[in-house]
Each structure stands twice: as structure tokens, then as C-alpha cells.
Amino acid sequence: MKNMGFRWYGSNSDSISLQDIRQIPGTTQVVGALFDIPVGEVWPEDRIAALKKEVEDAGLKLEVIESVNIHDDIKIGLPTRDKYIENYKQTIRNLAKYGIKVICYNFMPIFDWVRTNLHFKLEDGSTDLAFEHRFVEGDPEDIIRSVQENSNGYVLPGWEPERLAEVRRLFDAYKDVDAKKLTENFKYFLDAIIPVCEECDVRMAIHPDDPPRPLFGLPRIYKNREDMLTIEKLHESRYNGFTICTGSLGENPNNDVPALIREFVKKDRVPFVHARNIKFMGNEGDFHEAAHLSSEGSLDMYEIMKALHDSGFDGYIRPDHGRDIWGENGRPGYGLYDRALGIAYLNGLWEALEKND
Ligand SMILES: [Mn+2]
């Protein structure tokens, strides 16, 4: 696939080098970000320029940013949101100057993705991320402690210590924000930024809520097809797009992921795809992540790639979380080997689909 990418955390905080990524066959894009800029601040041009140069010097491209996170004041709808929205608009303009085409982001309150085990052991001895609902029925602070104790010293996206320290304050701030209010605040944000995106040719790609269900009593607004129909209408524009994360959406067995791809790619609303597999276990909605192959999980990755192919998808795609294999003990979900295997597999499916035309 021409725009196959690999998520990278930067030379200071990723054990994987750009040269490692360059050596994964059929990989052209780095999906990057400036992880140390506090949420809500403008991304400085010189830092964007330096990242871009570093990636290009390694023979790769930087056209997708994941993520430019959204300040909680915007999601809560506080008066201070206007200041943060202005900053966000300036960040979009700054990124556009350096050839960025897609910004992946999410609109989840307080937490980014949630897992209850970062080292779930599979039969073959590899480990991956898992989610079991029974572990999140209690106090959010229990799960926070568990994530911090199990992340191998890495800071996971959305789980930065400075955010977690104020989690109690945030829960209080969100107490009057239900799904309706969150959707209104989302529309307010989109109405402000999408005209800038149109002007700069940068497409927004919201990531699904992960897992796609309410947690700790907090609302979730991108869980399924119905939510996608609502979101696309909040601001009608191809610049108001989706990241289709096959794993996140697939974590609800009622979501037909290939059908969602066919519907929304045809509507030109899918600039970015995360391709990964999950395997259901135990109670409904419980799962562990899996190698990318259809045979290893509950999702049919051939049907997913076929849906992309049949719909004429020409956006950006990357493998999503991988297992820790072959003795690798890196950032949970973001090791080198299993994601590289994922790319080889996805590219193989794609070649077969192309040649079958
Ligand atoms: Mn994803």
C-alpha cells in the first residue's frame, strides 16, 4: 500500500529507530507527534520543522500526526475553551506549512484508550494488551495505578503522569457533561477548526473511543455507525473525517467493520486507518489484542482490506498495536517486531487484492 505508516514516538523516547522503520518493506510513512508539548499549547514551527527533517533524512515521509490532543476545557465546554481552540487552529496552520495532511485525534473525556492488562500472556508465550470489563467497574484510581505499574517505565499516550495527578479534579469537572453535552461541545470545536482545515488542506480524523463503551460513567461519542452518522453531520466537510481503527470498533461484536469501511470510505470521510486484530474472550466485550492475521483473532482482516480496496481507499494506514515477541520488552503495544509482521501481512493481502482486479 502506498501510504503504509508506522507510529513512532521520537528519537528521545522510542527504542525503535527511523532506520528500523525504513527497513520494514513497503513502509513509507512515519506517524509522529511532538509528545512533550503540553495539551492546549501551540506546536512551535521550529519543532515541527526539526521532526519533519529528521524523518525525511531517514528516507521516510511525515504526513500524518497522531495525535494533536484536545484540551479538556474544550470537551467540558468551559469559557477558556476559545483560547485553546485558537491555539489548535494555529497548530493546524503550523503543521500544514510542513506538509502535514492528516491529524488523528480523539474526543474522549479524561482517558485515552483503556486496557486492564498490558502484559496479557498468550499460549505461545507472547504478551499483548487486554481488556476485561470486570476490572473497570471499581474506582478509576485502581486502574490508573495498575497502568502506571505495568508500563515498563514508558509514558503511555493519554496516561501522562501530570494528567493522572489531576484525575479527581477532572471527574468533578465532567460531572454535568453527558453524551449530548459532549456532542454539542464537539460541534463547537469542529465549527471553529474545520474552516481552517479546508483553507490549509489538513484533514481531521477522529479516533474511535477505545473500548467503544462508556467507562467510569463518562460519556463516549464515537462507538458505532450511529455515532459516525451523527459526527459526519455535525460539520459537513471531507475535512471532518474518521480514523477507522478496526480494533477499537471491532471490540464491539455488533460493529460490522468492513461495512463501516465501505460506507464511509465511499463518502470520502476516511483519511486514516488503524489496522489491527483482537480476540474476544470471556464475557461480551472482553478481548485481548492479537497478531494481525485473521487466523489469530476475531476480525476477518481479509474482508477489512477487501472493503478498503473495493472502496478505492487511498488514504494513510498503519498497523496498530502489536504483541511483544522474540524477547522484545518495549512500550506495551508498540514494539517493532509484531507491528513489522503486521505490515508484511497487510501489504501481502493488498498485493493479492490488487492483482485479482
Ligand atoms: Mn487505534
Q: Is 320 noted as a catalytic residue in this protein?
A: yes
Contact predicate 66/6, CB 8 Å: no
Ligand 1 centre to CA of 252 (Å) is 14
**Looking at residue 6, what is its pLDDT?**
98
Give the strand pairing for 272-275 and 240-245. parallel
From the list 334, 337, 338, 345, the catalytic residue is 334
Of 211 and 160, the structure prediction assigns the larger pLDDT to 211
How far apart CA 343 and CA 239 sit, in angstroms, is 27
What residue ranges define each of the domains in the chain, with the CATH number in brackets? 5-355 (3.20.20.150)
Return the percentage of the chain with pLDDT > 90, whole number: 78
Q: What's the pTM?
A: 0.93
Q: Is 324 noted as a catalytic residue in this protein?
A: no
**Looking at residue 158, what is its pLDDT?**
60
Q: Is 309 noted as a catalytic residue in this protein?
A: no
How far apart CA 23 and CA 15 sit, in angstroms, is 15
Ligand 1 centre to CA of 191 (Å) is 25
C-alpha cell at 271: 483519511
Ligand 1 centre to CA of 79 (Å) is 31
**Looking at residue 155, what is its pLDDT?**
54
Contact predicate 150/324, CB 8 Å: no
Return the percentage of the chain with pLDDT > 70, whole number: 94
How far apart CA 200 and CA 339 sit, in angstroms, is 32
Q: Is 235 noted as a catalytic residue in this protein?
A: no
How far apart CA 307 and CA 263 sit, in angstroms, is 9
Contact predicate 246/209, CB 8 Å: no
Q: Is the dihedral of CA 54, 329, 153, 33 positive or negative?
A: positive
Q: What is the mean pLDDT of residues 215-231?
A: 93
